[in-house]
Amino acid sequence: MTGSEASVISTLLVANRGEIARRIFRTCRELGIATVAVYSDADADAPHTREADAAFHLPGNAPADTYLRGDLLVAAALTCGADAVHPGYGFLSENPDFARAVTDAGLIWVGPPPAAIASMASKTRAKEIMADAGVPLLAPVRAEDATAADLPLLVKAAAGGGGRGMRLVRELSNLPSALAAASTEAASAFGDGEVFAEPYVENGRHVEVQILADAHGTVWVLGTRDCSLQRRHQKVIEEAPAPALPAALRAALHTAATEAAEAIGYQGAGTVEFLVAPGGRGYFLEMNTRLQVEHPVTECVYGIDLVALQLRVAEGHALPAAPPEPTGHAVEARLYAEDPARDWQPQTGVLHRLEVAGAGVPELSGPLVPAGLSGLSGLRVDSGFGAGDTIGIHYDPMLAKVIAWAPTRAEAIRRLAHALERSRVHGPVTNRELLVRSLRHPEFIAAQLDTGFYERHLDALTAAPDDNETRVAALAAALADACGRSRFGGWRNVPSQPQTKTYRLEPDGTEHEIRYRHTRDGLTADGLPDVHCLSATRSLVVLEVGGVRRQFAVFAYEDGSVYVDVPRLPGGATQGPGSGSDPGAGPSRGAGGRAPSCASYTSYTAYTSYVSYALTPLPRFPDPTARTEPGSLLAPMPGTVIRLANAAVGDAVQAGQPLLWLEAMKMEHKIIAPASGTLAALPVAPGQQVEVGALLAVVSD
C-alpha cells in the first residue's frame, strides 16, 4: 500500500534500469532524495548504474535472474538503506506479489495498492471488472471456441504489456501456434505465460487516458494521448492530447477512465487504454497500473512532474482538488536501435555518438516541462544511453525518447521532425529516418491515425537511398581518409593511376569502389563526372555536385566504421547551405584550377539537417576464406534459439517459410527461408546460444 501521512521518502531504490531509472533519478535529485540503482552483469557500466548514489549488483543477465527477482530487489533496498521502491515500467511494475513483498518489508511502495494491481494485472480479470462497472469493452474469445467468424483475433499476454506476448491471427489454423509463441514470449518478459484472445479491430486508434489518484478520494484525469503509430504492437510515436477526437467521445473516455479507477480504489499514476473503432466508439483495452513510457507528453502539456507527484502520493499527501489546465501540444518519438526495413530487427553494438539537436547530449536533457513558459527550446530528451555505451542483446533497444512541445500540434510536429533530422546518431542502425518521414507523412499531419499506419506505408517510409547519393558520400569518406593518411592527401599534379578505396554501405550491403585522381583541372572520379572537390580535411569534405556546393561531415571511429552526414534541403534533397560562409572554408576550384589542400580547414558547421550514411571500409584484397556458402542464413544478432520449425534437413522449403525462432532483446525473431529450395543444413538446436553471424541454416537450390 502507499505511505501514510507521516511517511517521508529519503532514499529511493528504482527496481528497473535504463531510461526510466534515469528519469526517476532526475526527479529525485531535484527533490533531494538519495537514489539506489540495481544492475545486472550487462549493466555494470550502464548510465543508470553510474548515476545513482548507490548501486546493487544482481548477478546474471537474463531478466528472470535479475530484474524479475523480487526477493533480490527487496534485499537490495534493505541492504542499501532505502525506505521506498519505485518499479518504473515493465519488469515487476505490475506484479502485485512484488508490491506486497515491498510493503511487507516495511518499505514504501511507489505505486497503487497491491489489491488494485492484482485486479488489473490479469487483463482477463480486468475486463470482467470493467464490464461490471459498465465500461464498454471487447469481450475475450475463448480460444477453444473460436471460429472463422471471430477472425481476426489478437492474442495477448494476460500480464505485462509493451507489445510483448502479442500475435495477430488472421487464419484459424494459425491460432494454436500464435498462442504458444505469445505464451513463451510473455513468460520470458513477465514471468507469466497466461495469454488470451480478443477481437482485433482493423484500422482502430489507440487512445489512452492518464489518471492520477491519491489515498483521499481525489482522481485526476490528465487528458488523452494518441499512440496509434505502432510496430509489433509497440508504440513508436505518441502525442497529447489525442487529436481529432469528437468532444463527446473525449468526455466518454474521461468518464470511463475515472470509473475504472474508482472501481478498484486506485492510487498513484495509471493509464486506461482504449481502442477507438473507425465508427468512433471507444472500447476498454486494459489498465496499466504504472507510469507509461509516453508519460512525458502529458507532463509537457500539463506542466507537471508525474514522478514527483507519484512520490508525494506514496508519502500520503493529498492532491489538489483539480489538475492544472492543459496548454499546447506535445509529440514524442521513440528512437530505437532497429532496422525498420528488415522487419524491425533490433540492432546491437557501440553507440559512438548521440546528439539531439537543440536538446543537449547524451543524457536526460531539456526541461522536464518544456512548455515554452521560460522561453526554452520546447525539446526534451529522455535517454538510457550515451556516447560510448554498448547496446546489448538482453534488453529493449530503445536509445532515447525525443519530445517536442509547442502551442499547436502542427508546430510541435515540425519542431520534433526538425530536431530529429538535425541529430547525429552514429552506431547501430536506428529508426531515425523512419521517424522523420512518419512525422512528415500527410496522413500523420492530417491526424488520420490508426494502428495500420506502418502496414500501409512501411515500404515508402523505408525506401533505400539513391545509389548516386551514397556513392558521392563514399567519395567524401575516401577523400577524408586520404587527408588522414598523407599530408598531401594523395593529390597528384601529373597523370597517374587513380586512388582506389572501397566502402560497403550499412546495412544495405551495397559496395562502392571509389576511383579518383586529382589533376590540374581538379578532381575526377569514375562514374561521377559532375563532382569536383573544393576542399577537404579529415572531418569535412566540400564537393561541388552538379554545380551545387555540398558539405560532407565525416566521422571515423576506432572500430573502423565511418559515418558521413550529408546536409539536405527541404523536400528530401541533400545539400549544404551553399552560402560560402563556413568558417575556415578552403580554396575553391577557381582561377588556375589549384588543387585543394588537406589542411584547408578542420571544423564543420552546424547544418540544418542531415542524412547519415554508415560505411565500412573494405580491404583491398579480401580474405578468400571469409566466404559464405550461397543460401546460408546467418544470425542477425546474438541470441538464443528457442524453437525449430517442422522442417528437417533434406525437406523442400518455400521462400518465406519459417525455419526457426531466435529470442533476443526480449523479443522473438522469426528466421525464414530466403528462397525456395532444399533445407541443406540446420546446425542449431533449441536452447543454443548463437553469436551474430553464426550459421543457422542453409537452403540450397
Q: Which of 306, 289, 293, 315 is nearest to 99 (CA)?
A: 289
**173: nearest Cα among 193, 153, 187, 158:** 153
Alpha-helix runs per DSSP H in 237-281: 247-263
Catalytic residue, from 100, 164, 290, 432: name it: 290
What CA–CA distances, in Å, run from 334 to 203, 231, 337, 404, 439?
22, 11, 10, 12, 12
State phi, psi for 22 to the nearest 5 degrees: -65, -40
Question: Measuring CA to CA, which residue among 389, 338, 165, 363 is closest to residue 236?
Answer: 338
d(CA 48, CA 500): 45
Nine-digit cell at 268?
Answer: 498513484
Beta strand ranges found along 557-694 (DSSP E): 562-567, 610-618, 632-634, 639-644, 652-653, 658-664, 667-672, 677-681, 689-690
CB 691 within 8 A of CB 664: no
The amino acid that residue 653 corresponds to is V
Q: What's the angle, vertex CA 138, arms to CA 246 and CA 209, rounded to 5? A: 45
**What type of residue sits at position 647?**
A
Q: E strands within 407-498?
A: 424-426
Picking from 30, 8, 52, the residue whose alpha carbon sits closest to that of residue 16 is 52
Query: Is 2:113 a contact under the CB 8 Å cutoff?
Result: yes
Determine if the peptide bond prior to 241 is cis (ω within 30°): yes
290 is an active site residue: yes
99, 106 contact by CB (below 8 A): no
Long-range contacts of 619-628 (CB under 8 A, 24+ apart): 620/500, 620/502
| Interatomic CA distance for residues 346 and 465, integer angstroms | 21
Going by the DSSP 8-state scheme, the letter that residue 189 receives in this structure is: H
Residue 389: name the closest of 62, 48, 689 by CA: 48
Q: 509: which DSSP letter?
A: -
Catalytic residues: 290
